């Protein structure tokens, strides 16, 4: 029996435009700047490489400058996805990145810390750190 996965939602304010941010979230070159050591894409399937390990995910949802969803292509993670949502505050114009991911309860703190570290790299690359 597989453990129940928990949804986590994290929000980060970024000093950038939705278009620039969307490029970092939706393209192989953008993702390789902060998300993985190397990213390649074939059709809608992205291959993420980290220190010798590799995982594939399909870009299953894409709305220009709004959101991108990746669904893992792996037996262990069947139907598991993560999503990047771009929110722009109508009053202030502030741009927020919302990360939605799924994790097992035991791994929740580690996953949150991992996203925090990765988004710090993203912020630095955008010049908004």
pLDDT above 90: residue 73: yes
Q: Using a cut of 0.75, tell me whether the model's pTM lies above it.
A: yes
Cα–Cα distance for residue pair 65/20, rounded to 1 Å? 8
| pLDDT tens digits, 27-66 | 999 999 999 999 999 999 999 999 989 999 999 999 999 9
Domains of the chain (ranges; CATH) run 5-126 (3.30.530.20)
As a whole number of angstroms, the distance between CA 127 and CA 40 comes to 24
In the DSSP assignment, the letter for residue 11 is: E
pLDDT digits (tens, 9 = 90+) for 76-109: 777 899 999 999 999 999 999 999 999 988 999 9
H or E, element range at 103: strand 95-104
At residue 74, the pLDDT reads 81
């Amino acid at each position: 029996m597989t453990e129940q996965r928990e949804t986590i939602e994290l929000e980060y304010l970024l000093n950038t435009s939705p278009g620039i941010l969307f490029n970092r979230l939706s393209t192989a070159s953008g993702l390789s700047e902060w998300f993985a050591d190397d990213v390649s894409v074939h059709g809608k399937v992205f291959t993420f490489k980290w220190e010798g390990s590799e995982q594939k995910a399909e870009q299953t949802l894409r709305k220009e400058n709004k959101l991108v969803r990746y669904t893992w292509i792996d037996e262990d993670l069947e139907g598991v996805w993560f999503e990047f949502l771009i929110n722009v505050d109508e009053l202030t114009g502030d741009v927020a990145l919302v990360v939605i991911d799924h994790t097992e309860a035991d791994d929740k703190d580690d996953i949150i810390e991992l996203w925090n570290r990765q988004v710090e790299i993203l912020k630095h690359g955008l010049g908004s750190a």
